[in-house]
Chains A and B, each alone.
Chain A
Amino acid sequence: EAGVVQSPRYKIIEKKQPVAFWCNPISGHNTLYWYLQNLGQGPELLIRYENEEAVDDSQLPKDRFSAERLKGVDSTLKIQPAELGDSAVYLCASSSGGANNEQFFGPGTRLTVL
């Protein structure tokens, strides 16, 4: 079974440029999460989807961040414009919502903003 796929793995951009990250969850997983992980920190939730509906986006900085999950499968997270402080690893995770609610994480996209 394929795991959570993310692309790109690495991205370097200059500040004020836009950037987009893509996530393909495990087949059949209805719940999808985007996390931000700074160096030496644990993941922090940005947004959670149940199918195509964003059910928790309270931590998403909506002035510059946006996300979508069309058709309830793949998801895209966008930053426009990027700032220096956005440099971090962006993790995508998915779960089936089963009894133990295990979240399966992708490898992440490491963003560097210059």
Chain B
Amino acid sequence: QKEVEQDPGPLSVPEGAIVSLNCTYSNSAFQYFMWYRQYSRKGPELLMYTYSSGNKEDGRFTAQVDKSSKYISLFIRDSQPSDSATYLCAMTLSTGNQFYFGTGTSLTVIP
């Protein structure tokens, strides 16, 4: 079983839709949870960073962590064509430790 599971998609939504991206994980010791966005032929860039359980909001993006269910989510409100990318979840035991990445979900927002 992989440490982190993520539905690869692809996911296609109309502009303005609310997008929900999810990951599950097996190691209950993970404490730091991240979402990266990766455009084609580019390196991943950090979108959201959350420590332990709870919600974090940044503009149109909301990250949720439910440690009891070992489940994390990223919500994108009012999705834009520029949001079209692959979204990778990542998590780590503590700062400085190895990151465990999901496989990424490919998102296309149709104008």
Contact = CB atoms under 8 A, between A and B. Distances in A.
Interface of A: 4, 31, 40-45, 48, 56, 91, 93, 97-108, 110
B103 interface: yes
Nearest to B8: A40
A106 B6 CA distance: 23
Interface bracket on B: 20 to 34
Contacts of A45: 98-99
Interface stretch (B12-20, B41-49, B67-75): B41-49
Contacts of B88: 42-43
B90 A102 contact: no
Interface of B: 4, 6, 8, 32, 41-46, 49, 88, 90, 92, 95-96, 98-99, 101-104
12 contacts: A4-B43, A40-B104, A42-B4, A43-B44, A97-B96, A98-B95, A99-B95, A100-B95, A101-B95, A103-B99, A105-B44, A105-B45
A42 B90 contact: yes
A101 B41 contact: no
Given A97-B95, A101-B92, A44 B43 contact: no
A54 B16 CA distance: 46
Contacts of A97: 95-96
